[in-house]
């Protein structure tokens, strides 16, 4: 009877730890003294060799010392699309390379963090697939570093599914509607044509298309020096470069983005209100830029 009681107490304690578990948005892989180009090449090779698909590579803020590699995996991609409320956004993960002096710091967006935030209650439905993705990703990157420590602030695991920065701030379920097109094909063609033309000083980093479901996610570099990445990223922290690029998701005829006050806060959860105020125009600037791609 005593052993049963001890086991019960242990189970309660473990459950309490899970409820209060803090999760960070990024995982540090490690550091390298090689060039950012050499590190990028090794990461791309490691991902490809382990059945990941590279979607795109670019330099945020047009800086040679910053690089992002966007990628996905078949099982992950085919699972998240089952979540109808913009689940496809969770198909894309990123590795960030940040140069400081002669050292390149390598990191990636934390699957536990992003998937909980973007998929809400559906996270637990497909948890086995997501745990396998997390394990496969760490294994693929283990030849590049052995750090694998979380950083970038933290949010309680249970709070992530309904995350918002402060009271009256938007949630994942409060997207910005950019435009409703006459058809899915018209929307995709319009956005892609505008990106190819560099409208609004933008760059298409990747395009992930689900044809049967009529869903496409565009990863978009914001190249304007006045109000793009070069403006806001140094203010809030280049160490979080793996947060980029920003996305437009077209589902059926409707193009939307995550609200800047949600998406920026989610990827920089340790931001003070004072720092946030320094980029108070950024959510609106991003909305204006991405809305122009739909015209």
CATH of the domain at 277: 3.30.310.70
Closest CA to 105 of 239, 236, 244: 239
Residue where a domain terminates, one of 126, 160, 194: 160
Residue 14 lies in a domain: no
- Cβ 138 vs Cβ 73: under 8 Å: no
Residue 13 lies in a domain: no
Q: For 237-258, what is each residue's pLDDT tens digit?
A: 999 999 999 999 999 999 999 9
Residue 119 burial (C-beta neighbours within 10 Å; 0-12, 13-18, 19+): buried
Residues 279 and 185 in one domain: yes
Q: Which domain holds residue 138?
A: 24-160
Residue where a domain terminates, one of 133, 160, 187: 160
Report the alpha-carbon distance of residue 202 to residue 61 in Å, rounded.
11
pLDDT of residue 186: 98
What is the pTM for the complete model shown? Answer: 0.93
Q: How many domains is the chain partitioned into structurally?
A: 2
- Cβ 99 vs Cβ 238: under 8 Å: no
Residue where a domain terminates, one of 160, 186, 211: 160
Closest CA to 81 of 35, 45, 129: 129
Residues 28 and 153 in one domain: yes
Residue 169 lies in a domain: no
Comparison of pLDDT for 85 and 19, the residue scoring more: 85
What pLDDT band is residue 3 in, cutting at 50, 70 and 90?
A: very low
Report the alpha-carbon distance of residue 69 to residue 240 in Å, rounded.
13
What pLDDT band is residue 121 in, cutting at 50, 70 and 90?
A: very high
Say which range, 167-171, 183-187, 206-210, has the weakest mean pLDDT: 167-171
Residues 118 and 183 in one domain: no
Residue 79 lies in a domain: yes
Residues 39 and 149 in one domain: yes
HSE toward the beta carbon, residue 9, CA cutoff 13 A: 6
pLDDT of residue 290: 98
Report the alpha-carbon distance of residue 212 to residue 104 in Å, rounded.
40
Report the alpha-carbon distance of residue 106 to residue 31 in Å, rounded.
6
Residue 3 lies in a domain: no
pLDDT of residue 255: 98
Residue 143 lies in a domain: yes
Residue 6 lies in a domain: no
Calculate Rg over the CA atoms of the chain: 19
Cis peptide before 119 (omega within 30 of 0): no
Residue 167 lies in a domain: no
Residues 50 and 150 in one domain: yes
């Amino acid at each position: 009877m005593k052993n049963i009681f001890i086991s019960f107490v242990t189970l309660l304690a473990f459950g309490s730890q899970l409820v209060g578990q803090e999760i960070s948005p990024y995982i540090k892989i490690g550091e390298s003294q090689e060039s950012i180009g050499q590190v990028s090449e090794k990461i791309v090779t490691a991902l490809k060799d382990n059945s990941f698909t590279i979607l795109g590579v670019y330099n945020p803020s047009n800086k040679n010392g910053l690089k992002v590699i966007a990628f996905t995996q078949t099982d992950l991609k085919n699972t998240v699309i089952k979540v109808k409320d913009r689940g496809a956004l969770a198909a894309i993960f990123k590795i960030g390379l940040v140069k400081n002096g002669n050292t390149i710091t390598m990191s990636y967006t934390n699957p536990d963090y992003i998937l909980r935030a973007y998929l809400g209650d559906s996270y637990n439905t497909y948890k086995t697939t997501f745990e396998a993705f997390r394990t496969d990703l760490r294994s693929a990157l283990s030849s590049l570093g052995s750090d694998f420590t979380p950083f970038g602030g933290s949010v309680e695991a249970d709070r992530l599914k309904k995350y918002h920065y402060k009271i009256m701030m938007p949630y994942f379920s409060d997207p910005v509607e950019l435009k409703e097109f006459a058809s899915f094909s018209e929307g995709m063609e319009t956005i892609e044509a505008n990106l190819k033309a560099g409208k609004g000083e933008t760059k298409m980093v990747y395009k992930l298309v689900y044809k049967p479901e009529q869903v496409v996610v565009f990863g978009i570099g914001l190249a304007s020096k006045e109000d793009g990445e070069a403006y806001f990223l140094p203010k809030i922290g280049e160490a979080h470069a793996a947060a980029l690029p920003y996305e437009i998701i077209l589902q059926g005829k409707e193009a939307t983005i995550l609200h800047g006050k949600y998406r920026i806060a989610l990827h920089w959860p340790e931001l003070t209100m004072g720092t946030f105020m320094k980029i108070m125009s950024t959510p609106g600037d991003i909305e204006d830029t991405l809305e122009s791609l739909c015209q």
